[in-house]
Amino acid sequence: MVVQTTSPIIEMKDVNLTFDNGRGVSGLSFHLDPGTILGIIGPSGCGKTTTVRLLTGIYTPDSGEVCVFGKHPANFQEPDKIRIGYIPQSFILYPYLNTEENLHFMGGSYGMSLKERKARINTLLDFVELEEARKRLGKHLSGGMQRRLMLASALLHNPELILADEPTAGIDPILRARVWDNFKRLREEGHSIVITTQYVGEAAYCDYVAVMREGKLVTVDTPEGLRRQAMGGEVIHLKIERKNIFEIMKYLMDRRSVLKVEQVEGEKGGLYVYVKNAGRELPRLLGSIREQFDIIPRIAERYQPPFDDVFVRLVQRIEEEA
């Protein structure tokens, strides 16, 4: 059952955990508001899974505070645990039970009656598009189907909070998009979701993104905020005649509203113009270029850099400031 609340679902404050091999996480601080998706993004081994396990109570921190629903996960009682749906990285359901039997087993472990399980299973098999595979053994499901079965099993008891550890790892882009469609629908229903992923491009699907590297949070921001952080502002893409390019570059760089101007690598006449607010500045720049040079750029649009580029620039920026 999804309970309406305005208090943060999750709060982490300066959390530290070090394993015997010296690895772990340090200085983690973030929160999750109700009905939002937080994506934790970073390379393998950066601490994403450790963070999720701290939220479930599997791990306890050496220092700092972890609160889920206002309580320390290590002190959860059964009523607290049932408010969470957890999807681990690996397929942990039974390979010799079919899809429907696996869901009945999981529903029984949550204390659901047979009538409740039947109604919920029918709804969920339709939701994750596994209706035709309801009698197929777990071991005969494809990797994408196993991921979706894990999602269905985590949703049986209609939890308020869903913790998904790399649910799209190792599956093709079409199936990844389908899984994200499921998560967006769940958010619309009021669920709060934490998802870890190595696929930087999936940041676009989240409400907030926590970027991790070497056990630390690099930053937490909205997808658009990450772009602004990484690029040092918003970006306008112009394409003009090459004969005018250096004169226009100098003109643009002399404008107070322009932060930086770069030529687009591999594009003749292409310019990236960095400003604080692309929506406001684009029509102004077009008007001034037309008035000053009597030309209209072939391309004049706000540029949205791919998140792979954003992630690389963001890490470089943090390292330069360190």
Are 47 and 31 found together in one domain? yes
Task: Classify residue 3: in a domain, yes or no.
Answer: no
Whether 4 maps to a domain, the answer reads no
Task: Kindly calculate the radius of gyration of the chain based on its CA atoms and give it in whole angstroms.
Answer: 24
Would you state the structure tokens that stand for residue 38, as one six-digit string? Answer: 């937080």
CATH number, domain with residue 87: 3.40.50.300
Q: Do 181 and 256 sit in the same domain of this protein?
A: no
Q: Which helix (H) or strand (E) holds 86?
A: strand 84-87
What is the pairing mode between strands 192-197 and 37-41?
Answer: parallel
Q: Are residues 55 and 168 in the same domain?
A: yes
The answer to whether residues 135 and 264 belong to one domain is no
Residue 317: per-residue pLDDT: 78
Domain that holds residue 91: 10-227
Same-domain status, 272 and 134: no
For residues 143 and 47, membership in a common domain is answered with yes
108 and 191 part of one domain: yes
How far is the C-alpha of 78 from the C-alpha of 76, rounded, in Å? 7
Last residue of a domain, one of 212, 227, 242: 227
- Our count of domains for the chain comes to 2
**In contact, 224 and 266? CB cutoff 8 Å:** no
Q: What was the pLDDT predicted at 4?
A: 55
pLDDT at site 257: 93
Give which of 286, 287, 258, 289 is closest to 274, Cα–Cα. Answer: 258
- The residue type found at 265 is E
SS3 11: strand
In a domain, 1, yes or no: no
Indicate whether 179 and 282 sit together in one domain. Answer: no
CATH code of 277's domain:
3.30.70.920
Per-residue pLDDT 10s for the chain (322 aa) are: 455 557 899 999 999 999 988 889 999 999 999 999 999 998 888 999 999 999 999 999 999 999 999 999 989 988 898 899 998 888 888 889 999 999 999 998 888 899 999 999 999 998 888 999 999 999 999 888 888 898 899 989 989 999 999 988 877 888 788 889 889 999 999 999 999 998 888 999 999 999 998 999 989 999 999 999 888 899 999 999 878 889 999 999 999 999 999 999 999 999 999 999 999 999 999 999 999 999 899 999 999 988 888 888 888 877 777 6
Structure tokens, 97: 């039970």
Instruction: Please answer whether residues 9 and 32 qualify as being in contact, where contact means their C-beta atoms are separated by less than 8 angstroms.
Output: yes
Predicted local confidence at residue 261, as pLDDT: 94
Last residue of a domain, one of 211, 227, 243: 227
Q: In the listed set 192, 227, 262, which residue is the last one of a domain according to the structure?
A: 227
